[in-house]
Chain A
């Protein structure tokens, strides 16, 4: 099924890598929206609906954890799965992200196969 994805990362290079990894995973992307931090992503979501959000944690202005805490208040984000992609690898970060509503957690560095392993089940509603 074709989907719209929102990729949130302060590095434009990393946003491109994540997009390429999604395509390599066989995910049919009709459109990819991008944001450089959590505040920009909230603004994007106020105007656009998406099917999947991939989000970094360490970002300026608003980090990824604060961003996902605010998602329940955004109509377009209700029920949209969020997968974190970050260098933060501690168990406490994982637990915190999952308790805030993230459905998946990928540590950088990553391979396209790891993106596939984490994103496909989330899109299928199995995670």
Chain B
């Protein structure tokens, strides 16, 4: 097993974290929403109007975000709560925040040294698409694109050094 310093060394290729991020996301959807995420066959550009973000601080600093459209967000909430889609109300932001929180927590628990040395912030959820998100990060985001019930979700981890 690698030591913490080896795993988190600056020259460690964080591209290797993409499969772990995907597994973390798939597990959350399978266990909490009873559904399988699938890989998109073709590029799918949808207006991603709901953005849920969780900050990471400590041995790893950054922001994990989960983005999807309003319909996907409502369906996720419906599945989490076990209620009909037309019964979903203002809980959407809370549900999406919890999804981002669980993906971030599950991801950090898979990396040696991060489970203990990295804290999560309370989630923040933004709705609407007319905004620019500017990160002060000095590295490109790790990003995965998956389909939830045929609808695109984009999960990204913006890492700050």
Contacts and interface: CB of A to CB of B under 8 A. Distances in A.
A30 interface: no
A89 B115 contact: yes
A88 B120 CA distance: 9
Interface string A100-127: 0000000111110000000000000000
Given A87-B105, A89-B115, A90-B109, A12 B94 contact: yes
B122 A109 contact: no
Interface residues of B, number: 25
Contact of A13 (B31, B91, B106): B91
A119 to B, nearest CB: 16
Interface of A: 10-14, 16-17, 20, 58, 60, 86-93, 107-111
A111 B102 CA distance: 13
Contacts of B106: 87, 89, 108-109
A17 B119 CA distance: 23
Given A14-B98, A20-B82, A111-B31, A93 B116 contact: yes
A77 to B, nearest CB: 26
Contact of B91 (A12, A88, A107): A12
Nearest to A15: B94
Given A109-B31, A109-B106, A13 B98 contact: yes
B83 to A, nearest CB: 9
A13 B81 contact: yes
